[in-house]
């Protein structure tokens, strides 16, 4: 029963990720940085950024890849720490 529920939850996650991509045609999924930049230009057209990026990624795909890798590493570290502390807690209970 538990194994079947895990597969059902995984299927739900996949459906939630794919359905919007199929239903929303000819749209560009931009990031929060681009939306914030546009909002700032609307509010204060003379605004100049304080800093410029040290490295400019060659394309939007590279930027998305770097963000995904960063998120995966962070999730891995958090998951490892949670598992480590859970294991220690279980070991101390015995």
pLDDT digits (tens, 9 = 90+) for 62-81: 777 888 899 999 999 999 99
Residues of the chain above pLDDT 70, percent:
89
State how far the alpha carbon of 57 is from the alpha carbons of 10, 12, 54, in Å.
33, 33, 10
Over its length of 94 residues, how does the chain's per-residue pLDDT go in tens digits?
Answer: 677 888 999 899 889 888 877 787 766 666 777 788 889 999 999 988 888 878 777 776 777 788 889 999 999 999 999 999 999 988 888 7
Query: 15: helix, coil or strand?
Result: helix
Contact by Cβ (8 Å): 57, 63: yes
């Amino acid at each position: 029963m538990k194994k079947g529920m895990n597969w059902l939850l995984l299927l739900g996650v996949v459906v939630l990720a794919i359905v919007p991509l199929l239903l929303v045609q000819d749209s560009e999924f931009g990031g929060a940085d681009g939306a914030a930049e546009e909002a700032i230009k609307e509010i204060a057209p003379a605004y100049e950024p304080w800093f410029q990026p040290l490295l400019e990624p060659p394309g939007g795909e590279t930027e998305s890849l770097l963000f995904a890798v960063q998120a995966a590493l962070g999730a891995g570290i958090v998951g490892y720490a949670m598992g480590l502390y859970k294991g220690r807690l279980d070991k101390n209970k015995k």
